[in-house]
Structure 1
């Protein structure tokens, strides 16, 4: 991953400057824009970001995998995917639809989403580091179709609350995550809450003037503060996500699929993941049960 540090004041929004930008590193249909070991340390609780794009069939290649200590937030920006989960039913997630998975103390998942009706799919997956009270808590999943996600002007409120509108996602307080589409030449100003010192955005289609150019496939991290940013779509429509938060005041204890606030919590999460993995493998050895295992906890 290549991360470029911008001199403060060279690329500025209304009152904020971009301090880092990256185009990440590609892995087939997935571009890793942020990991807990790089930019995640700067803008935690946001610790991981993937931009995925390609033929919808790539979703079939997603293996079952574990998580603990985090929540994952999957947002669709183009096309659609079908969700199916024993506890939540089934349906379709398209532009603005959301999958929220609070892994907490441990979960294996990867098969709850499948190909929908579109040939291509694009979207973001974000990891959010959880506070101590939730990092080893029970699993909590939500699958929210776009029709239930609230809007404020050009923005869908994915996490948190903005301009008096609250997301239905059961996320911890202290962070906002918005999906925004601006028409060519349209401007929009994001005014974060006063204590949201962490601020970043990533563009999936088009380009933004901030006023410096942020192109599709790029992630930009703003300098700490509480100032607003004014963004304008350049030449054509732009689609992007923007996040702000009260800084996560804990260290990041990192495992292969886990992020916790301390080594003890990490050990507990990884032990739970291992225990669930044993049960999952035993479950899959029964031929009658191997067809579909969306989530195992």
Structure 2
């Protein structure tokens, strides 16, 4: 995570006046799930958004998803605690929180985005209204950070090498990032052996409950970073990915099997104007305060009076 940019955002937010409440009702709670290597409580991580949003939205309850007794342990678990176990633990954590009993909005940073989506699909005891994905890898990744294979033979060879062992059960069980590795040269192994992403994307076994629960969210906000070199390909942040058997040309969400067969409810959400495609001309998780306040803040600053209906800006 680009810590110095998040710190700049935090400073800008701190010097902004508190937002006035548009309703006497209590604001909808917010759950935040941080990204790879970050923690619930690092000074210059996603935690900053909890601090500044509490200032901007008086009375809001914000919950950080965390695993471990310390920030360091939480960060460690973002690499090595099985994704399915994380979602299971998060379901228990959020279901038992009385402050979230009436539903909440959710904002994910990077891999935290697809984990929150999995939470919507799998956890029937919670209610998520607006789901905000900041640089999430919803169709997986195929590449090493800052090593785009389309412009480097060495990078291409390296990710082909990584693909040779990624779907081994030992790797899948113990490395979080392997659980959303999507090899376009071996779609069969991805569908069969990827323990996390191929399940929530319904690549192999269709589970009606996944689609039903996800179709019930109020808004799904997908943010893509146009100059992202951390995520390969960046189109995955809008549910796109590489076309099969190569790693240069990409397809869009609308061309994907997930959308065409409406495996998780994307078609329904799109037809009811509940998917919102946003982009920012920056690197991974690098955005300005002004952009955040104009484009993301309206999905967070909601009361129960108006959160249940699709939001139109």
Higher relative helix content: 2
Structure with the higher strand share, 1 or 2: 1
Q: State the TM-score, normalizing by the size of structure 2.
A: 0.27
TM-score if structure 1 supplies the norm length? 0.28
